[in-house]
Amino acid sequence: MDKQRKITAAILVMLVILSVLTIVQISMKIDERKGKTLTFGVSQSGDGVAIVRIDGAIQMIGDSGPFGGPQGAEAVINKLDELGRDSSVKAIVLRINSPGGTVAATQEIYQKLMKLRKKGIILVASMGEVAASGGYYVAAACNHIVANFGTITGSIGVIAVSPNLKGLFKKLGIEMNVIKSGKYKDILSSHRDVTPAERALLQEMIDSSYNRFVKDVCAGRNLEESAVRPVADGRVLNGENALEHRLIDQIGTFEDSIIKAKELAKLPEDAPVFRKKYSPIEQMLEGLGNAYRGRELFTKALMPGTGSLEYRYLP
């Protein structure tokens, strides 16, 4: 009898969970039709400022959300597309709290922001605790950058990492059998040294991506390369240092960023601010997802798989 009660209770709990998730999924679809925004403030024209957040490592993730929706850079780009089609959105505040990310994902967000900027939409970057490397790359596409005194930013550079475990493998008596189609197919393998030819190939790729990084920062910030190169050596800066080197425009808070966005877009002080609507369950699931993705990125940085290459904008 006790066993039957436990089974019945377990089934009931599962049904309740499924019901809640179904309701959340339906509400998400409804929110999607409405633009997934909440409006704060009152404006006669209805024109306002939208908030887009970039939290954690910037990477391409794809359809891996709890309900199959896009995550990571793809989700950010989709949101920017949506806002770009909304005639009531005159400015976007990009709230960035990221140490960097993969090269392709960061460049795609940068390019999308530049397209919105060319359309006349005002973009203001609001830096949180950290907006470094790829996080700064994204911010550079904005018309105006605001950071706190204590914000960690800069770290303009590109890095590719792979552990060399050859000594450990030898000590443990482990030998790798490698069958490959070309001499570079197992580049950065952890069981052997990098050859001079491989190092030269990787350096060429890193230098190319780095030069693109610097050029895009110069284009977004309207600066000469001679002004950017001296601090584009991977160093990190706080908000005050970044202001001195013209990497940002203003020391201020998230609220200051919204005020500046309204000012640049010539909106009234009471213009609405559009924010994405999150249900409590969405917040919980997204938090778990961010924690998992952060661990996954860290693991890949330390132990990339044989025959794979991941290089990223990280401090």
The pLDDT tens digits of the residues spanning 71-124 come to 788 999 999 999 999 999 999 999 999 999 999 999 999 999 999 999 999 999
CA 228 to each of CA 99, 151, 243, 245: distance values in angstroms, whole numbers, following the listed order: 19, 19, 13, 8
Query: What mean pLDDT comes out for the span 23-32?
Result: 42
pLDDT tens digit string along 238-247? Answer: 999 999 999 9
Count CB-CB contacts under 10 A for residue 21: 14
Residues labelled catalytic: 133, 185
Tokens of 183: 């001499």
- Domains defined for the chain, CATH in brackets: 36-313 (3.90.226.10)
Question: Collapsing DSSP states into helix, strand and coil, what is residue 224?
Answer: coil
